Amino acid sequence: MKSKDYPSIAIIGYGSMGHTLESVCKSKGIQIAQIYDVDNTLEQDIKLDFDVAIDFSEPNAVIPNLEYLASKRKNVVIGTTGWYDKIDEVKKITESNGIGVVWGSNFSMGMQFFFRIIQKTAILMKKLDEFEVGIIETHHNNKKDAPSGTSIALSKFFINELFKYDGISTDPNECTKDHKKLPITSLRLGDVFGEHIVKIDTPYDVIELKHEAKNRSGFANGALEAARWVNKKQGFYNFTDILSSYWV
């Protein structure tokens, strides 16, 4: 994709992902109009001279950031995780202001393929009875939310397709007592970019399906693809949905 096909970008949050996003933009020749952080806050800028904002800040900043951007009719890609209990509020802000927003639990294109592999696996498992499913996810020790949004999204494929599970649990004791809860184990170690293992166990064999992020650039590239797609559009979109045309 040529740099001229991308809108001008504002980066909100200048942590690890913000720095990676900046680096990827520079390598692709994409214009970074502004970078907002604790020393240069979004609310201090009354002009907002950019096309699309990409938010990799903090969960509790998602709604205030969106409210301000929406008031200025700016489109947004929300890369931050851990705010999904407020999703109805975010959708309402989006639609009432007539802007475009893309959100997602994981902006890695590889993970989007992995989602579809897991979905197909869950569908195939409808014909099996003797199995148990568990998810193990590992991230860096500064990640705020646990379990990860990605592991929750992976669990929903099994919950939606199978009668066996009706929810998740991060408590092993609860899963032992209630076999309808799909167990998720979260580890926070060092600077792990992101690893998700879906483990399927039967009395006869074990299947492990794994996705491991090698670096943060995959997330940055996906967020930029979302920004390119949502530029000049209106509506509330999930990143998974907008990529459907890639593999119909």
**Predicted local confidence at residue 204, as pLDDT:** 92
**Predicted local confidence at residue 130, as pLDDT:** 86
Are 220 and 233 in contact by the 8 Å Cβ rule? The answer is: no
> Omega into 147 within 30° of 0, i.e. cis?
yes
For the beta carbon of residue 138, count every other beta carbon within 10 angstroms.
20
Question: Over the stretch 113-162, which tens digit does the pLDDT of each residue have?
Answer: 999 999 999 999 988 878 999 999 999 998 888 999 999 999 999 999 98
Catalytic sites, residue numbers: 139, 143
Does residue 163 register a pLDDT over 70? yes
- Residue 247's pLDDT band, with cuts at 50, 70 and 90, is low
Does residue 58 register a pLDDT over 60? yes
Q: How far is the C-alpha of 74 from the C-alpha of 51, rounded, in Å?
A: 7
In angstroms and rounded to an integer, the radius of gyration of the C-alpha atoms of the chain is 19
**Predicted local confidence at residue 49, as pLDDT:** 96
Does residue 55 register a pLDDT over 80? yes
- For a pLDDT cut of 90, what percent of the chain falls above it? 87
Question: Over the stretch 4-21, which tens digit does the pLDDT of each residue have?
Answer: 689 999 999 999 999 999
Are 32 and 11 in contact by the 8 Å Cβ rule? The answer is: yes
Domains of the chain: 3-107+216-246 (3.40.50.720), 109-212 (3.30.360.10)
**Token pair belonging to 72:** 């200025």
